Structures are given as C-alpha cells and as structure tokens.
Structure 1
Amino acid sequence: VNNASVVVHVRWTAGTALLSGDIETEAQAELLRRGFPPADILKVPHHGSAGHDPGFFAATGARAALISVGADNDYGHPAPSTLARLNRLGVRVYRTDLSGALAVVARAGGLAVIPRGRSGRPGDRPAP
C-alpha cells in the first residue's frame, strides 16, 4: 500500500523538492530505474523507516531532508540506518519530532528549511 503513495517533484524559482510520500524500497527502485530530476530538498519517505533503496537518497542530490515523524512513536522511526545514510551523504536532516513543524521558504536565492515549532533548540537554523 505504501508503494502506491503519490510522489511529487516541486519546482520553484528558488529550488526544488521531492515529496516522496510513504514509498518503500520497491517504488524507490522503480523511480531510480525510470529516472527523476534531482531535488534540493527531500521529504524522506515513510517517516524515515529502514525500508529504503540504498541509491535513492543519493540520486535525489538533496542537501536537506525533512522527516515527518511523531515524537516517541512505537515504530522506531526514523530508523538509525536511514539517519546514518543521510549523514554519510552530507544531507542536513530536519525532524518534526525534534523541531516541530517545518517550513520551506525561498531565501537568498535558494530554499531554506525553517523549524516552526520548538524554537531555540540547538541545530534549528536554515539549511545551507
């Protein structure tokens, strides 16, 4: 069922984002096979679950990743392996369980991620 999620590539003058719904390994592999445009920002699929194709995150080319996840969820999302892969790729990760709501805004000729919930926490600053 998760692989039937809608995936949207959004383009603004300031940059691009890939909104990947809840797609899992199989749908990610299919997107890799078919090809898709790179994105500055990735909405990480399925709350950052461990079910991801190893090449999918790298293929997006994203500099920032958004993970929509509830605090203290029973599923263990986001998975440590997902966070580690994004970290190895040098992707800046923003999580709703740590920073509250996230806004993507045009700023200084690019896109920035602004945490809108819990202000003043370490690491809550715009994406590069």
Structure 2
Amino acid sequence: MTRFSRLALVFAAFLMLHFSIYGQQKHPSKLDDVFFEYVSKTLELKPSDAAQMRPLVKKYLNERKKVYSKFSDPLEREQEILNIKLSSRKEMAAIIGIQKANAFFSSEQSFRRKVREELKQRTEEQKKN
C-alpha cells in the first residue's frame, strides 16, 4: 500500500471521528466502516475473506460498545472485553487464520492510537487559534 493511500485512509478515519464527536452521529457506523477498511488493508485481506469478516467485526465492535454501558467496574469491564476478544478471535481464525486474527487486535490498537493522536493534535491547534 502506498504511503499516500495510507495517509488518505487515516485522514478519512479522523474526519469520521471528528464528525461523530461533535454531535453529528446520524451515521455512527461510518467510523466502524473506516476502521474495517483500515484493518482489511493492514491485514491484506482477500475480498472474499473481507466479506466474511465484516459481520464478525461489526458484531465485535457492537459487543465491545455494550460493555461500557453495562459494567461500571473497570476490572469487570476489562474481563468482559477480554472474553469478547477471545471468542471473536476464535471466529475470525476460522476465516483468516490465527496469525491474522491476532494481528486484528494489534491493528485495532494502532487505529485507536492514531485517532487519539489526531484528536490531541486538533485540540492543541484549536487552543492556539
């Protein structure tokens, strides 16, 4: 993947996050779609594998979001997220193999880190202006 296409993808992800944060959450799944595209490219998924993975990733993200409203105890929340990751990895491994299923979670962390960095940078720029 070229450097330009990676930057374009990351930029698109940040735009989607930016709009969802500022109250324009009419399409909350768009950020999930950008995330899925990022992961698909990072893991170099074949189109057929990507098509099978999309519902699993959507299910994983939805279950993960529910955990934050369901559990107030941070340790219980982390335990539940770990359980979701383990069951999701098993389902994903059946499609893309265990190595790529493990790499999915690394890609997720990388994506979240990039989003946080972009938000931090935007906040600093807003303070300057």
For Structure 1 versus Structure 2, the TM-score category normalised by the shorter chain is: under 0.3
Which structure: greater helix fraction?
A: 2
TM-score by length of 1: 0.24
Q: Which has the higher strand share?
A: 1
Higher Cα Rg, which structure: 2
Larger RCO of the pair (alpha carbons < 8 Å, separation 6+): 2
